[in-house]
Amino acid sequence: MDIPLFKIYWDEEDVRAVKEVICSGMHWSSGDTIEEFEEKIAGYLDVEYCLVFNSGGTALHSLMKAYGFGPGDEVIVPSFTFIATPYAPMYVDATPIFADIEKETFGLDPGDVIKKITSKTKAIMPIHYGGMPCRIDELKKIADEHDLILIEDAAESFGAKLDGRSVGTFGHSAIFSFCHNKVFTTGEGGCVVTDDKALYDELRLIRSYGRVVNGDYFTNPENLDYKGVGHNYRMSTIIAALGLSQVNKVDKTTELRRKSAEYFNRNLKNIDGIVVPTPPDDRYHAVYQMYTIRVLDGEDTRDDLMKFLKDQGITTRIYFDPVHEYTVFKEYLEYDIELDMTKELSKQVVSLPLYPHLSKEELDHIVNKIKEFFKRERI
């Protein structure tokens, strides 16, 4: 049996949506489908504005510019994340400040965030790891008390909720990613969501070379004005059509993910030596974009498990190494930081295959092989 880490869930509706745009013979780059996609996301999350981009990374960069961050400004971020999170402030010559994480959600530890706040701090930018809400309510309180901007890097967590409220709606703004292993996907793509009209207007300029456009840029006969330096960060109509089709079935695919994750939890939670990813309490609604377990014996046993599962046709992965230990931060930027919990958890975590159409046979195979490995380990 060969089980990959993820498979993209698609159907004929996706094919038809893309085909319709292609067969139109025009509006491949701009059109009503993009706005329809944005309105669908905004309505789903219950926010005022959504603006789609060609990646989650460009969405983050655009936010840094829109907020006016620059030299001397600090943005508190986790190290247990994808590189795009700390890179974002660096794109505008601001400084990422790494705070530690807590072990229940793998999100920023509010206690350590407070310690990292200085007079230079402008924003807190947590992530929601693998579809699990972080302690965003506590981080929001900290941001409000210190008059800081709260930006949610919710790249992995579309549809996740805390107390019935969607992640991405707690902060002043948030980004989501639609990269190919996300809860729903357009291959590449992302968006910003916010209730701030002024921020939305600024992002529209940044996304399209800083130009003011009424209607379709490619067919508008009027002269254009350029109000600032922007980028070509637009999403094409073809991609937006795929996204609209994908998001229309996101509740279905999320429920399938949750059922598989619950099956794993039931069958793996009693294995001595691992911790399964369960929400801290019933206020948390996780969407399991990734299913990450902890191997308590640490790095050597974790790596042995990965090799064993690979030999059984089961793909696993360590998604995030501590970012602050990468060369760009340790040597080029001369960061010298100790993040104890980040270091500990990064030596324990491993992500198992999880995708909407993971079969019962595949689930059983993964569970049985993990049990076999730990049975051998304990003999």
CATH classification of the domain holding 305: 3.90.1150.10
Q: Confirm whether 169 is domain-assigned.
A: yes
Same domain, 241 and 257: no
- pLDDT band with cut points at 50, 70 and 90 for residue 218: confident
The answer to whether position 101 is within a domain reads yes
Please name the amino acid found at residue 7.
K
In this prediction, residue 216 carries a pLDDT of 73
* Predicted confidence band of residue 378 (pLDDT cuts 50, 70, 90): low
Shared-domain flag, residues 186 and 50: yes
Residue 361 has pLDDT above 80, yes or no: yes
Per-residue model confidence as pLDDT tens digits over 59-77: 999 999 999 999 999 999 9
Say whether pLDDT at 304 is over 90. Answer: yes
Report the pLDDT averaged over residues 218-243: 89
170-183 core/surface letters (b: 16 or more CB in 10 A; e: else):
bbbbbbbbbbebbb
Out of 201, 222, 247, pick the residue that ends a domain. Answer: 247
pLDDT one-digit tens code per residue, 125-155 = 999 999 999 999 999 999 999 999 999 999 9
pLDDT band at 294 (very low <50, low <70, confident <90, very high): very high
CATH of the domain at 66: 3.40.640.10
Based on the fold, state whether residues 229 and 341 are members of the same structural domain.
no
Q: What is the mean pLDDT of residues 32-38?
A: 96
pLDDT at 240 over 90: yes
Q: Supply the pLDDT for residue 193.
A: 98
Within-domain flag for 177: yes
pLDDT at 224: 81
Mean pLDDT, the chain, as a whole number? 96
| 152 plus 265 within the same structural domain | no
Q: Which of 247, 267, 284 is the last residue of a domain?
A: 247
* In-domain check, residue 203: yes
Is residue 379 scored above 70 in pLDDT? Answer: no
4 falls within a domain: no
Same structural domain for residues 260 and 347?
Answer: yes
Shared domain check, 309 and 197: no
Look at residue 222 in the predicted model and tell me its pLDDT.
76
Burial 16-26 (b: 16+ CB within 10 A, else e): ebbeebeeeee
More confident residue, 227 or 217: 227
The total number of structural domains that make up the chain: 2
Cα separation of 35 and 160, whole Å? 23
Residue 214 reports pLDDT greater than 80: no
pLDDT over 90 at 186, yes or no: yes
Q: Where are the beta strands (DSSP E) in 146-297?
A: 149-153, 161-162, 165-166, 173-177, 190-194, 211-212, 225-226, 274-275, 284-285, 291-295
Same domain, 231 and 269: no
Q: Are residues 42 and 135 in the same domain?
A: yes
237 domain-assigned: yes
Give pLDDT, residue 113.
98
Q: Which two tokens stand for residue 192?
A: 């910003």
Average pLDDT in the 263-292 region? 97
For residue 225, what pLDDT band results from cuts at 50, 70 and 90?
A: confident
Same domain, 261 and 366: yes
89: in domain = yes
Same domain, 240 and 269: no
What pLDDT was estimated at residue 181? 94
Q: Same domain for 199 and 265?
A: no
Q: Which of 218, 247, 276 is the last residue of a domain?
A: 247
Q: Which domain holds residue 335?
A: 250-378
User: Mean pLDDT, to the nearest integer, of 227-253?
Assistant: 96
5 in a structural domain = no
Which pLDDT value is given to residue 26?
84
Alpha helices in the chain (DSSP H): 12-24, 32-45, 56-66, 84-90, 110-116, 136-145, 197-207, 237-247, 250-268, 299-311, 327, 340-346, 360-378
30 band by pLDDT with thresholds 50, 70 and 90: confident
Domain identity same for 143 and 35: yes
